[in-house]
Amino acid sequence: MATQSLLASAWALEVNTGTSGAPTWTRVKGMTSFKETIESTVEDDSDFDSNGWGSDQVTQRKWKLECEGKRKRDAASPSSFVADPGQQAILDAGNLVGVGSNIEIRYYRRDGAPDAWQGLVSVQYGGGGGPTTGLEPFNFTLGGQGARTAITNPAA
């Protein structure tokens, strides 16, 4: 049986624009790059009983998402700029400090793979500008605030 690779473009990111008690999951559109990173802090836990072999133990993990894309507007409003609601929620949080920059997100694969996570993140937003013939970019890093939680894939 032949195997097929999974496409990176199958990831979806949603922002909770409601409340934690009554979530409203709003898709972030216009993404062109999605990168999930899990960083581990590792400590040496070697001892005299290991016959000279070393041993490491993970003592902490951090997760983050790094995303890029193009700013989008609502096509139903061609005469005025109406931002994509998902992008705007991230931009708004990225202009705040402290807990104001924290938002709830979920991300999952749209191709039926079981990968699906939810968590609280802090937002670092970038973007804006570009050459006269360019499309306006955006980029952001979502830094996990504690553990992420595995969820049932909404696309399944």
Residue 3 within a domain: no
What integer pLDDT is reported at residue 70 of this predicted model? 87
Q: Which percentage of the chain shows pLDDT scores above 70?
A: 92
Over range 16-26, report the average pLDDT.
95
The three-class DSSP label of residue 22 is coil
Domain assignment present for residue 50? The answer is no
| DSSP run (H or E) holding 93 | helix 85-94
Domain containing residue 14: CATH number: 2.30.110
Residue 120: per-residue pLDDT: 97
Determine phi and psi for 131, rounding to 5 degrees.
Answer: -70, 165
The b/e string for 12-39 (b: 16+ C-beta within 10 A; e otherwise) is bbbbbbeeeeeeebbebbbbeebeeeee
Structural domain tally of the chain?
1
The whole-model pTM stands at 0.85
Domain around 72: 8-44+55-150
pLDDT at residue 4 greater than cutoff 80: no
pLDDT, mean over the chain: 89
Summarize pLDDT for 101-111 with one digit per residue, the tens: 899 999 999 98
Is residue 156 in some structural domain? Answer: no
Q: What is the pLDDT of residues 43-93, one digit of tens each?
A: 999 999 988 899 999 999 999 999 998 887 666 666 777 788 999 999 999
Classify each residue of 86-119 as buried b or exposed e, where b means 16 or more C-beta atoms within 10 Å of its C-beta.
Answer: bbbbbbbbbeeeeeebebbbbbbbeeeeeebbbb
For residue 138, tell me if it sits in a domain: yes
> Is residue 6 scored above 70 in pLDDT?
no
132: in domain? yes
